Structure 1
């Protein structure tokens, strides 16, 4: 079986044709990789060994593919048994042998795998799995919001949430998730992404290049000084979040919560009166991550129905390269930043 391999942290990636084709357990599915997405965590794994369980490593974690074999107890989170030919997507078990979509066939854990809604294409599906799960963990696990009923969404409320990095994959999903919860959303992003974020439901955009004092002033004006929830979708805003909460302390009542995709740096000092929680999607699918997997299994049907209803719109993507041989060029494009807010995909095989 073909795939790409990294022998050790920082080593050059090479195409190999001698990888072992994995075999699914009773609760797993074997998936043909059709579209492989490039995700920031791929570089963390390959360059620094973060989240890697097994070396040598096949990087990659986000995918859209087709089931070729299903274990006898492989049931999707909507309660339907997986079968050969099903189109699926999501985030695979990260850093473990046999689970990467950067090889021709790979394993997925049925409990945390999305079936594809009929109103989106398979490449579109490949853009949304990891981002939507991360956003849901941030909103409903870390910020403690009640999980929404997708068939009876809350009425709009005059309360604000701040999302740092709204044009990122996680950010776009977070903006739409908070809107589904009824909140007003202000997000930071580049000016060129203002129209995109507005189309996804954001109520206000702030240029992330503005100074700290300018950002705080804008947020004070928008929210009338009342802000209880902040999510950092781009991992670099701990200090800014603390400064915003400090500035709004005199005018905000109730619990104040901050969550971030940054799970490696110390959390910000909450002495001004807020609590912080990192978003921890990394152990997805692992047997020891029972609590995480159970949460994700509850989130997936909600995300599925929100996508089906058009309440979560899938992201734009750039298809760059074909086959496992095309992964390096796609990865280089993603790391260059030239793809902007679009997800970079490789077409590994035909559908």
Structure 2
């Protein structure tokens, strides 16, 4: 019998590494993967601090090799190299999660990677792609990239620039969102600190603005000729939300954040429609979290994911979706808690922490 090690929730703010756990079988529409690398996200500390599920496997981002497919899975097969987006601390299936050497995830949350891509690179994608696609295409309803008859992806040509503001462009979701928007033929303006300017220009941003400038919003509004209609806020604090609201043109538009919204700002402009997304809805199941984070089942998000994750697979293969900058750390599963604490303390900026599993 093959066994695995898992990093599970123990108590509020605490993980526990458990060894000798039997590797679970793949359920319907699931796959089991031997994990080659794990990446961390801010949600990994937020979940254990505020929404821990004792005994459930934590983590979301991984890459590895498929070793078993469940009933109904036809797109993937044993031996496929994949990147994975798992739903860590999953009350509906506590076996699921990325913090393990044998991960279980939904089949639509695993997609193939090119032979030339390492597991270290691939592990950085999952949460960023899931969140960015959900925000840009499901919530803001922006046009997706176009796939021609030969399978080549091309940007839809716009008669005049359609501007999209990505606030927090140097975040892991921001770098993915910039590239997706560019592939869609949109004109991306973004905010970051000066040290990340060259990176974001190389990924497809047209104009960069210093988020620390007191004139940031008016500079964006002037640059877009008062025509900005779409804003994705990858930081989603009161200050960034106000900046986005002030940057959106006089005619109004749409704003989407990644955390519950500051209501004292949300209703200051009637012409701006605001919403926020949580990537856990991509499972199609209810989000069983407390307070504003809880959501009813959204099967439409599951259907959306099946289409757009497959598109992301093509974008990666064609070199149009590059991984977020990463910092490789050693120590495997035993070292994850230290990295999670570094994220909690704000010690990691502009990079994803990645842990290869030997």
Q: Same fold (TM over 0.5)?
A: yes
Match of 1:33 in 2: 35
Match of 1:221 in 2: 222
Give unpaired runs (5+ residues) of structure 1.
Answer: none
Q: TM-score if structure 2 supplies the norm length?
A: 0.86
Which piece of structure 1 moves more, 189-198 or 265-274?
A: 265-274
CA RMSD of aligned residues (A): 2.0
Give unpaired runs (5+ residues) of structure 2.
Answer: 148-152, 286-296
Q: Is this contact kept in 1: 2:284–2:301, CA < 8 A?
A: no
Match of 2:186 in 1: 183
- Runs of 4+ with >6 A deviation: none
Structure 2 residue 59 is the aligned partner of structure 1 residue 60: yes
Cα deviation, 1:246-266, whole Å, max 9, x if unaligned, reads xx31xx4xx611111113654
Cα deviation, 1:172-205, whole Å, max 9, x if unaligned, reads 0111111112122111111100111111111111
Match of 2:279 in 1: 281
Cα deviation, 1:31-54, whole Å, max 9, x if unaligned, reads 1122111111111110001xx5x4
CA distance in 2, matches of 1:112, 1:290: 14
Which piece of structure 1 moves more, 217-226 or 19-28?
A: 19-28
Structure 2 residue 92 is the aligned partner of structure 1 residue 95: no
Structure 2 residue 304 is the aligned partner of structure 1 residue 295: yes
Q: Is this contact kept in 2: 1:334–1:344, CA < 8 A?
A: no
The residue matched to 2:166 in structure 1 has which SS? strand
Residues 297 and 279 of structure 1, relative CA distance in 2, 3 Å threshold = same
Cα deviation, 1:304-345, whole Å, max 9, x if unaligned, reads 111122221112211112321121233234344444211101
The residue matched to 2:161 in structure 1 has which SS? coil
Structure 2 residue 206 is the aligned partner of structure 1 residue 203: yes
Match of 1:86 in 2: 80
Structure 2 residue 236 is the aligned partner of structure 1 residue 235: yes
Match of 1:155 in 2: 157
The residue matched to 1:19 in structure 2 has which SS? strand
Q: Is this contact kept in 2: 1:149–1:302, CA < 8 A?
A: no
Aligned residues: 332
Structure 2 residue 124 is the aligned partner of structure 1 residue 124: no
The structure richer in strand per residue is 2
